[in-house]
């Protein structure tokens, strides 16, 4: 079963529009972490946010905001007043404790990503 689902493969909006990227996750762990990364065309993954499972407060950082809802296992990411430089692939990722990730592994489980295109 897919542990991190990003159902939107590609989103295209016009500059200055708001856009929300969806992320739904699945885990039996009670202590876990969720992440968002940005991957621009250059290929390097850029860290955006880390949120632990006990902190359901929404977070805002400039034009970026995140909505974490444990009840629906979702961790959605909104960009307000989008800009062309926001064009990239965005990944949501889950970190479970090794007991639940299997085999003692401490690796991140990524979704398939959402390709965001901001048109001028």
Judged by CB under 8 A, which of 19, 21, 24, 108 binds another protein?
108
Burial 95-118 (b: 16+ CB within 10 A, else e): bbeeeebeeeeeebbbbebbebeb
Encoding tokens for residue 73? 């296992």
Binding mask 49-88 for another protein (x = CB under 8 A): -x--------------------------------------
- 41 touching another protein, by CB under 8 A: no
Let me know: does 82 contact 18? Beta carbons within 8 Å.
Answer: yes
Dist. CA 38–CA 44, nearest whole Å? 8
Reduced to 3 states (helix: H, G, I; strand: E, B; else coil), residue 99 is helix
- Region binding another protein by CB under 8 A among candidate stretches 12-20, 30-38, 62-70, 71-79: 30-38
- 3 touching another protein, by CB under 8 A: no
Residues near another protein (CB under 8 A) are: 4, 33, 35, 37, 42-47, 50, 91, 93, 95, 97-98, 103-113
């Amino acid at each position: 079963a897919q542990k991190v689902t990003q159902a939107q493969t590609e989103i295209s909006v016009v500059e200055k529009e708001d856009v929300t990227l969806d992320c739904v996750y699945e885990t039996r762990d009670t202590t876990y972490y969720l992440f968002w990364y940005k991957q621009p065309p250059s290929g390097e993954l850029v860290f955006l946010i880390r949120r632990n499972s006990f902190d359901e407060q929404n977070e805002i950082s400039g034009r970026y905001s995140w909505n974490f809802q444990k009840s629906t296992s979702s961790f959605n990411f909104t960009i307000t007043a989008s800009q062309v430089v926001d064009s990239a692939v965005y990944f949501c990722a889950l970190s479970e404790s090794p007991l639940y990730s299997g085999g003692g592994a401490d690796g991140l489980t990524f979704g398939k990503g959402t390709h965001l295109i901001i048109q001028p």
